[in-house]
Amino acid sequence: DIQMTQSPSSLSASVGDRVTISCRANQSITFYLNWYQQKAGEAPKHLIYGASSLRSGVPSRFSGSGSGTHFTLTISSLQPEDFATYYCQQSYSTPSLTFGGGTKVQIK
Amino acid sequence: QVQLVESGGGVVQPGRSLRLSCTASGLTFSTSGMHWGRQAPGKGLEWVAVISDDGSSKYYADSVKGRFTISRDNSKNAVYLQMNSLRPDDTAVYYCATNGREGVFYYMDVWGKGTTVTVSS
C-alpha cells in the first residue's frame, strides 16, 4: 500500500511569510499528487493536481513541485485566508486514494 | 453550481448499521464518479470508497472493506454508503465528493459539508 507522510505536522507563520510543506510517498507515485486545503469547520477544497497544476481559481501564490516520492506545497506570501490545514493525496493507485496526515498552518 | 448534501448521520451503537445519503445538484450526475471520505474528530482525512458513474465499479479502503457498501441511484442523483458492523473508530464526519479528472489525474473535486456519525454505546 502507498503511504503518504507530511511534515511538519504544524507550523506557525506570519502574514507575508513564505511557507513550504513537504509530502513524501513510500514508493514512487511519479506526478500523481493532489493538494487540498481545509479550514476549520469546513469541507476540504482541492488546490493542485498532477503535483504542480493549479486548478482554476486557486491564487497564484500557491505552487506545487516534486515528482517520484518527494513533493512540496509552497505559499509564496501567506495571506490571512490561508491559515488552514493542508493535505496531500496520492492518486497513483486510482481509484484508491490515500491522504497524508495533514499540516496545520497557524498564525505566529 | 455543483452542490452536494449529505444526510443520514447520527448516533448508533457498535455493531449496528447506518445508511448515509448524498444528493447532488448542478451537474450531470450520471456521468460523474462519486467518492466518500471521512474525518475522525481532531484527525486527518481518510478516503473511504468510490463508485463509477454507472455504478458498475466500486472500490474501498481496507479499513471498511467487507463492512461498507457504496451504491448510487442516478434517477435520484444520489449516492449512498451502507455501513454495517459499525465500530467506535468509524466515528467521523462523512463527506461525499465528486470525482474530478484532468487528463490522467484524478482527485476529489466538489465536496459536501458532511454528516456526522457517532458510534457509541
Distance from CA of A78 to the nearest CA of B (A): 22
Q: Is the peptide bond before A8 cis (omega within 30 degrees of 0)?
A: yes
Mutate to test the interface with B, among A6, A49, A67 (most CBs of B within 10 A): A49
Which residue in this structure is represented by grid cell 496531500?
A88
Phi/psi for A42 (5° steps) reads: -120, 165
pLDDT beyond 90 at A64: yes
Residue B38 in grid coordinates: 471521512
Across A30-37, average pLDDT: 98
The verdict on a CB contact (< 8 Å) between B107 and A38 is no
Distances A106 to A17, A24, A48, B53 between C-alpha atoms, Å: 12, 22, 21, 39
Distance from CA of B62 to the nearest CA of A (A): 10
CA B76 – CA A23 distance, rounded (Å): 39
Which residue in this structure is represented by grid cell 515528482?
A67
Report residue A108's pLDDT band, with 50, 70 and 90 as the boundaries: confident
Collapsed DSSP state (helix, strand, coil) of residue A66: strand
Q: Positive or negative, the Cα torsion across B33, A96, A41, A45? A: negative
CA A95 – CA B50 distance, rounded (Å): 7
pLDDT beyond 90 at A75: yes
User: Looking at residue B24, what is its pLDDT?
Assistant: 98
CA A22 – CA A18 distance, rounded (Å): 13
Chain A residue with the nearest C-alpha to that of B39:
A43
pLDDT beyond 90 at A14: yes
Question: From the list B44, B105, B114, which residue is nearest A49 (CB)?
Answer: B105
- For chain B (121 residues), the mean pLDDT of every run of 10, in chain order, is 97 98 97 98 97 97 97 98 98 98 96 98 94
User: Looking at residue B67, what is its pLDDT?
Assistant: 98
pLDDT above 70 as % of chain A = 100
B76 CB neighbour count, 10 Å cutoff: 12
CA A102 – CA B98 distance, rounded (Å): 21
The verdict on a CB contact (< 8 Å) between B107 and A34 is yes
pLDDT beyond 90 at A51: yes
Output DSSP code: residue A20. Answer: E
CA A34 – CA A48 distance, rounded (Å): 5
pLDDT beyond 90 at A16: yes
